[in-house]
């Protein structure tokens, strides 16, 4: 297991009691390096949405636990936030909740010279993701070729 995955899993375990106590849901945890700086990000959610006070509460409690357990030797910045309206769909539970929603699919390799597709999430399994476009044509993508999937936000 990579260090990144180990840090994410341990952080998820630390978050469980905090989130349960406050009726929050864990959306995702990521440990990434951007521009030479490590970030430990926890994305939380709840019915009706997360606000700044919710993020602050979780951040303070998690920060204390991370200091106590001290399993990440690198210097990092802790961020706790909502996954946002145009949230990335990464895990099966994210896809399950988003069936019928409009999504944007970005691919690693182009299909017919196109790498970005928008449509309504119809179904998914371990190998493929299926969306339908505005003409109700079903488009099937191999999950191994998918770079990212995000909910589409209309303002």
Whether 75 and 13 map to the same domain: the answer is: yes
DSSP alpha helix (H) spans, 40-120: 52-69, 92-97
pLDDT at 134 (0 to 100): 84
Question: In sequence order, what are the beta bridge partners of 65?
Answer: none
Residue with structure tokens 């997360």? 50
Name residues whose C-beta falls within 8 Å of residue 59's C-beta, 6 or more positions apart in sequence.
78, 79, 80
Q: What is the CATH number of the domain that holds 99?
A: 2.30.30.100
Contact between 130 and 123 under an 8 Å Cβ cutoff? The reply is yes
pLDDT band at 155 (very low <50, low <70, confident <90, very high): confident
Tell me the C-alpha distance between 96 and 128, whole Å. 14
Range of the domain at 110: 92-151
Asked which of 81, 100, 131 is the last residue of a domain, the reply is 81
Contact between 107 and 145 under an 8 Å Cβ cutoff? The reply is yes
Tell me the C-alpha distance between 102 and 153, whole Å. 8
pLDDT at 154 (0 to 100): 84
Whether residue 124 is contained in a domain is answered as yes
> What is the pLDDT of the chain when averaged over all its residues?
94
The region of weakest confidence among 2-6, 30-34, 107-111, 135-139 is 135-139
Whether residue 86 is contained in a domain is answered as no
Asked which of 37, 53, 81 is the last residue of a domain, the reply is 81
Tell me the C-alpha distance between 6 and 104, whole Å. 30
pLDDT at 135 (0 to 100): 85
Whether 77 and 96 map to the same domain: the answer is: no
Whether residue 73 is contained in a domain is answered as yes
pLDDT at 85 (0 to 100): 87
Asked which of 38, 59, 81 is the last residue of a domain, the reply is 81
Backbone angles phi, psi at 132, to 5 degrees: -120, 140
Whether residue 110 is contained in a domain is answered as yes
Residue with structure tokens 């010279």? 113
Whether 36 and 56 map to the same domain: the answer is: yes
Whether 43 and 111 map to the same domain: the answer is: no
Whether 108 and 45 map to the same domain: the answer is: no
Q: What is the CATH number of the domain that holds 53?
A: 3.30.300.70
CA dihedral 147, 151, 154, 155 (to 10 degrees): -100
Whether 18 and 54 map to the same domain: the answer is: yes
pLDDT band at 61 (very low <50, low <70, confident <90, very high): very high
Whether residue 87 is contained in a domain is answered as no
Residue with structure tokens 């920060």? 63
Average pLDDT rounded to a whole number, residues 113-125 = 95
Domain total of the chain:
2
Tell me the C-alpha distance between 118 and 105, whole Å. 6
């Amino acid at each position: 297991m990579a260090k990144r995955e180990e840090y994410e899993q341990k952080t998820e375990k630390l978050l469980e009691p905090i989130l349960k106590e406050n009726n929050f849901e864990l959306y995702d945890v990521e440990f990434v390096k951007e521009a030479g700086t490590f970030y430990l990000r926890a994305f939380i959610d709840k019915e009706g949405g997360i606000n700044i006070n919710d993020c602050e509460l979780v951040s303070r409690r998690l920060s204390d636990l991370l200091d106590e357990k001290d399993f990440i030797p690198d210097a990092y910045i802790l961020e706790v936030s909502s996954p946002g309206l145009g949230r990335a769909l990464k895990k099966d539970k994210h896809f399950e909740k988003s069936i019928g929603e409009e999504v944007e699919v970005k691919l690693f390799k182009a299909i017919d010279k196109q790498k970005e597709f928008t449509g309504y999430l119809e179904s998914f399994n371990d190998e493929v993701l299926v969306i339908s476009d505005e003409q109700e044509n079903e488009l099937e993508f191999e999950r191994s070729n998918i770079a990212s999937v995000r909910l589409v936000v209309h303002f």
